[in-house]
Structure 1
Amino acid sequence: MAQAASKTCEICVSASGSQYCLECEQYFCENCKGFHKRQRVTKHHQFQSSSDVIPEGKSKCKDHNEDVSFVCNTCNVAVCSSCVTGSHSGHAFSKLLDSISQLKETNTTDLRSKVHEATQNMKQIEEGLKAFDVKVEGIVKAITEEGTKIKTMVDKCISEKIASVKDQSRKERDKLTKLLEDTQMDLKAGRDLDKKIHELNKTRNDGKLLQSLQKLTDYIAKLTIKPIPRIFPNITVYC
């Protein structure tokens, strides 16, 4: 509790009011407290150190200038004893302290109930968030696994297509390589015959030269240059 300011004993009005009577709502010094506790009607009053107590302020009735000690339940206002027998005669009443205690208890109970409800709601929300996160992780995992499957299929398809391209290219390359080799042989044979022509051109024109030229004519006639394809091979990949 907040510490109250230093008070003077309200009984002897001289010593320090170090004690506070909860029932009388007054400050007492130690001597006056002892006297108060020895009185028959007040011996059961409860005291607390004044430094630990925030006393209830006393309200005065604006009509009678008396301490208000009752609550008119009919009008819902605090009243004094003169009001009870006067302008509020016949109304329903309760003690001010009882009403305050009841309101404190009701407020405390209601607030605790709402705090409990909010706490339970918070727990449910936290559990919901955890469950939501688990679902998200599950979905992400499923997507990742599906992506892995698709990637495996794509990789397999790519590997198969690359293998198909390599197989086609090998076959077509073999054909072109064979054609190149045959052409090289034809070219060599042609160059050899051309060389033979130059050699014969340097010999004497006689019967022997005639025979040699006739043989050369036969060789040239037998030399066949293989044609190359008009369109070179192409690789086709179907996606």
Structure 2
Amino acid sequence: MAQCPVRSCEICENSPAKRFCKNCEQFICHPCEISHLKIRPCRNHVFQDADKVNVEVKTPICVQQEEFFTHYCKTCSALICYICLPTTHKTHDFCMIDDKAKETKYSLNKEVENVEDKIRNAEIKISFIQSTLQTFEKQAKSTKDIEERVAVIVGTLNDMKNDFLKSIDEQKLEESQKMEPEILKRIDATNNSQEALNKMKRAVDGKNNITLLNSFSDMTKTLKSISEMSNWKHLLVRVRFDPVSDLIPVQNYKNIKDSYQA
């Protein structure tokens, strides 16, 4: 496999470029990196190893001037370069990109925390619903002992026994068919929300300031969508189980008891 050519430092043009300034989008050697960070406007610039840089990902630039963005216009809610600033935006409210990026990151992180809380609540609700269904199934299973009680009763009780058992199975099937798809749907929605949120968190941490601000609107919409997916206002209706003994009409039970004792 052919190796990629070693880049030269874009500042001194002599040493191999081992580092990459994400703010300036320049490949720099180690000595020039140290000098770069001593310059007052560049003190907070972020560096990474040059071999980990995806050179295909380009930071947006000003279309009119073909210059890097340096400021953020609060009036226009747009990124601007140093040439556009004193011309088309000179009377507007603006600030440095780093300041706006810090504010934006804080806002996005708060939204992430809010969505995380909603996902946790969704998981709790799913757990409650699953527990409710399991309890119902155990209750339905435990009522099978009706067979032992009705086995000693003869005659007309056989028809009643079959009706009761059929009612239990129908109710169990009906409730299971109703609850299980809803549970699976909510599990999928929650997992999708978590996956989307994880992707958003990685995007917030991985983007440089300019890319972050350029993507802020789309990222906010995505967070709102995730939040709406996880915002369950109501729990599913709790499964209700009616013990078989409660379904037996009082008079019929008295007749059965008298018949059995006779």
Normalised to the residue count of structure 2, the TM-score between the two structures is: 0.46
Q: Paired residue for 1:78?
A: 79
Q: Which amino acid aligns with 2:103?
A: Q
Q: Does the Cα contact within 8 Å between 2:20 and 2:50 map onto a contact in 1?
A: yes
Structure-2 separation of matches of 1:6 and 1:102: 38
SS at match of 2:69: coil
1:117-164 deviations in whole A, cap 9, x for unaligned? 22321232122211221123213312x233321222229x99xxxxxx
Identity %: 18
Aligned-residue CA RMSD (Å): 3.6
Q: Paired residue for 1:147?
A: 147
Q: Which amino acid aligns with 1:117?
A: K
Q: Does the Cα contact within 8 Å between 1:18 and 1:28 map onto a contact in 2?
A: yes
Between 129-138 and 95-104, the greater mean CA deviation after superposition: 95-104
Q: Paired residue for 1:51?
A: 51
Structure-1 separation of matches of 2:11 and 2:70: 21
Q: Structure 2 stretches of 5 or more lacking a match? A: 159-262
Q: Paired residue for 2:122?
A: 121
Q: Which amino acid aligns with 1:15?
A: S
1:71-102 deviations in whole A, cap 9, x for unaligned? 21221211112322211222221322333343
Q: Does the Cα contact within 8 Å between 1:23 and 1:45 map onto a contact in 2?
A: no
1:167-211 deviations in whole A, cap 9, x for unaligned? xxxxxxxxxxxxxxxxxxxxxxxxxxxxxxxxxxxxxxxxxxxxx
Q: Does the Cα contact within 8 Å between 1:22 and 1:45 map onto a contact in 2?
A: no
Q: 1:34 to 1:145 in 2, by over 3 A?
A: closer
Q: Paired residue for 2:98?
A: 97
Q: 1:119 to 1:48 in 2, by over 3 A?
A: same
1:4-63 deviations in whole A, cap 9, x for unaligned? 9954311122322112345655322134335446x5648956654323556884443233
Q: Does the Cα contact within 8 Å between 2:36 and 2:43 map onto a contact in 1?
A: no
Q: Which amino acid aligns with 1:72?
A: C
SS at match of 1:139: helix
Q: Does the Cα contact within 8 Å between 1:19 and 1:30 map onto a contact in 2?
A: yes
Q: Paired residue for 2:70?
A: 69
Q: Paired residue for 1:171?
A: none
Q: Does the Cα contact within 8 Å between 2:18 and 2:27 map onto a contact in 1?
A: yes
SS at match of 1:136: helix
Q: 1:53 to 1:45 in 2, by over 3 A?
A: farther
Q: 1:101 to 1:19 in 2, by over 3 A?
A: same
Q: Paired residue for 2:13?
A: 13
Q: Structure 1 stretches of 5 or more lacking a match? A: 159-239
The equivalences for 1:193-212 within 5 A come to: none
Bigger radius of gyration among the two:
1
Structure-2 separation of matches of 1:42 and 1:54: 25
**Offset at 1:112?**
3.9
Relative CO higher for 1 or 2, CA cutoff 8 Å, sep ≥ 6? 2
Structure-1 separation of matches of 2:14 and 2:82: 31
Structure-2 separation of matches of 1:44 and 1:100: 16
Q: 1:112 to 1:7 in 2, by over 3 A?
A: farther
Q: Does the Cα contact within 8 Å between 1:5 and 1:51 map onto a contact in 2?
A: no
Q: 1:21 to 1:83 in 2, by over 3 A?
A: same
Q: Paired residue for 1:32?
A: 32
SS at match of 1:145: helix
